Structure 1
Amino acid sequence: MRSVAIILPGLSFFPIGGYKVMYEYAKRLARLGYKITIYYPERLSYIKRGLVRISIKFLLSHLTPYWKWYNFEEMNEKIKHIQVYKLKREEIEKHDLVFVTSVETAYEVKRLEISKPVLYFIQHFENWRLSDTDLIRSYHFGFYNLVISRWLKEKVESADAKVSLVLPNGIDTNIFRIIIKPEHRDDKTVMMLYHELKWKGSWEGIESLKMLKDKFPDLKVTLFSVFKRPAKLPEWINFVRNPKLNDLVKLYNQHAIFLSPSYSEGFSLPSAEAMACGCALVATNSGGVMEYAQNGKNAEILSSPPNPEEIANAIEKIILDKERRVKLAYEGNKTIQQNFSWDRSVDTLDKFIKSLAR
């Protein structure tokens, strides 16, 4: 099984966590000798895209590579990227193995009735475009269900579906690492991902930070995002749009605390990256974050849904207790370094793929 098709839900000109993960697998599997083709279909079940929007995206894709925000390194010329309006069965059947990476791509490949093995990368409980019933139906398509956290394993198995493999995301600790020691950072610095989706809890997080600003006038906050700066964001909050990878690592290292106020997360890649960079993590119990975060040991875990007052109180305690913050930071870094390497994740996936050929 050397030829692999990876189906992503359309183009993305900006960094998205799920795309980053699949691009990393593509690059590393290519290094192992797999022939990787990544497909970007624009017409998918449950995603409504107008012809004008699709036409604009096709035009833009010819002007600039739509994956340029990710560095495929020496594998850049060896990985094929194919943008299509709609997937065709005869094209996908050419491959030995198919990866579907979202519920929409799962439905599309099911429609094609592919005869080759299909690995369903379940990266979240994706019920924001369709009902729970339709989502759960996709877990019973007969694909090999791969989940990125034990929380997702419980969600899939509670729907009486089988999980073939738990495959946590890896973190490249050669990139995401401590540059500025936690004890040398300003105690009153907080960083957070901003997202427009409500379940990310961004505005609850912002409300908590406003409460903290009243108590600590010298509080410094940075939000980063693929989205534009929201109009009603307080001026004192620093906002960085689409930071480059090296700049993102620097930002993590310039902050003492990372806040993740989500309602739910399949894994929460930024939280793990921040921990690897020496931030003390304050997060809601959003599901996937518990794959690596342990309350009181390497993170401060709060109840979900996010409560701004509870978040503010938790961050205040960490600000006032530097010794505890530094301990959480180093324990978090240790957890990621020891347990979430890409080498381990890719080796696990490679062995699983080879087991299918026996």
Structure 2
Amino acid sequence: MKISFILPGFSRYPVGGYKIAFEYANRLANHGYDVQLIFFNNNHWKKLGLLQRGFVYLATQYEPKWFTLNKNIKKISYCDKEFKRKIPTDIAVATAVETAYPTEKICPEAHKMYLIQDFENWNVSNEYLYSTYKLGFKNIVIAKWLKKVVDKYSLQPSIYIRNPLNITQYQVHNSIEKRDQYTIGMLYHSAPYKGSTETFSSLCKLKDRFPELKIIMFGTCDPPKNLPTWVKYYKNASQQQTIDIYNKISIFISGSIKEGFGLTGLEAMACGAALVTTDYDGAKEYAVNKVNSLMVPVKDWKSLREKVAYLIVNDSVRKEIAKKGVQTARKFSWSEAYRRFADTILDINNDFGD
């Protein structure tokens, strides 16, 4: 059986949604399926004109360097704006709103799935986004709150498969008890809905109260200008680097305003960092206030900062929350998610008598 994942262009830098799609692709390939990744590169490097196709083809073959793909997985660069080029496949999996309609056009004979990882209305209207839910694909959602939204428009109930975590990689390597309680970590992102700018600015205000404070940040965008020496920033950190960061910090802070799931919060928990987060919908998939995390209302930057201060002062509470976080993260293994994803593929084929 040939299974194709359609992605919105190759990615040179780590992206959470790509990571989930790549992991599903790897596991399917490991189990003997014929898997290919189709990168919808129409919007990549358009300024190159006639040279675009050649350059994006080469980039697609070399990337992603930040994720190790099964060598049997084929990568295809797609640059046909009129969708005349058809891709033969048995199963086609759209992975983002930009790929929903293209998937319908370039894989017309395939049974189709739609992996929905957020309410992706950043570059399209809500009406357009809703229309992708109505295409008749087998919709898969990664969060309960997304299922409620998608099922209002989907032709059939969506399938809920929460985002998993590779718990064999994201583990505690540095004792929770021995960590420096003044070392705080966070993801830095330029998108406003991540709330990174406000979170970082608020967190920096703790320096006067705690002179020992150190911040470690990572992300794919450029860091804030004029970073003080007590702040370290890792641009385009590899998976292993982020695991090392999670294991150095005592507290991970997330000020997201809106996210489908918020994978970094769960990753940090798995590695023994106590989570302090806003209560956006995605975080509720794994975070429970005063049990395995501390949660504050969205955009309440002052409360977010004060919860970090509370854990710095009350180190025993920090340790307890961190340990509960590790226990929670261990329940998000890939084995169950993959089983349900693979079963969905088989169910689709059975439904059509294949």
**What is the TM-score when the length of structure 2 is the normalising length?**
0.92
Q: Which residue of 2 aligns with 1:277?
A: 271
2: CA distance, partners of 1:198 / 1:213: 24
Q: Which residue of 1 aligns with 2:342?
A: 350
Cα distance change, pair 273–3 in 1 and its aligned pair in 2 (3 A) = same
State whether structure 2 residue 8 is matched by structure 1 residue 9: yes
State whether structure 2 residue 163 is matched by structure 1 residue 169: yes
State whether structure 2 residue 314 is matched by structure 1 residue 321: yes
Secondary structure of 2:20's counterpart equals helix
2: CA distance, partners of 1:174 / 1:357: 32
> For 1:82-130, what per-residue CA distance to the aligned partner results, in whole angstroms no more than 9, with x for missing partners?
11212746632x2110000000100222345723211100011001101
Cα distance change, pair 107–226 in 1 and its aligned pair in 2 (3 A) = same
Q: Which residue of 2 aligns with 1:59?
A: 55
State whether structure 2 residue 37 is matched by structure 1 residue 38: yes
Percent of pairs with identical residues: 33
2: CA distance, partners of 1:53 / 1:67: 23
2: CA distance, partners of 1:303 / 1:5: 40
Q: Does the aligned pair in 2 maintain the 1:42–1:54 contact within 8 Å?
A: no
Aligned length in residues: 348
Secondary structure of 1:329's counterpart equals helix
Secondary structure of 1:231's counterpart equals coil
Shift of 1:228: 2.1
**What is the TM-score when the length of structure 1 is the normalising length?**
0.91
What is the aligned counterpart of 1:119 among 106, 113, 116? 113
Amino acid across the alignment from 1:268: G
1: CA distance, partners of 2:235 / 2:107: 41
Shift of 1:154: 1.8
Shift of 1:355: 1.3
Shift of 1:190: 0.7
Shift of 1:140: 0.8
Q: Which residue of 1 aligns with 2:207?
A: 213
Q: Which residue of 2 aligns with 1:148?
A: 142
What is the aligned counterpart of 1:312 among 295, 305, 308? 305
Secondary structure of 2:92's counterpart equals strand
> For 1:286-335, what per-residue CA distance to the aligned partner results, in whole angstroms no more than 9, with x for missing partners?
2111111111111111111x222111111111111111111111111111
Could you tell me which runs of 5 or more consecutive residues in structure 1 were left unpaired when the two chains were aligned. none
> For 1:16-57, what per-residue CA distance to the aligned partner results, in whole angstroms no more than 9, with x for missing partners?
1111111100000111111101011222xxx68634389468
Which structure 2 residues correspond to residues 82-97 of structure 1 after superposition, within 5 A? 82-86=76-80, 88=83, 91-92=86-87, 94-97=88-91
Amino acid across the alignment from 2:95: T
Structure 1 vs Structure 2 CA RMSD = 2.0
Could you tell me which runs of 5 or more consecutive residues in structure 2 were left unpaired when the two chains were aligned. none
Amino acid across the alignment from 1:183: E
Secondary structure of 2:113's counterpart equals strand
1: CA distance, partners of 2:49 / 2:68: 26
Shift of 1:234: 3.9
Q: Does the aligned pair in 2 maintain the 1:204–1:307 contact within 8 Å?
A: no
Secondary structure of 1:5's counterpart equals strand
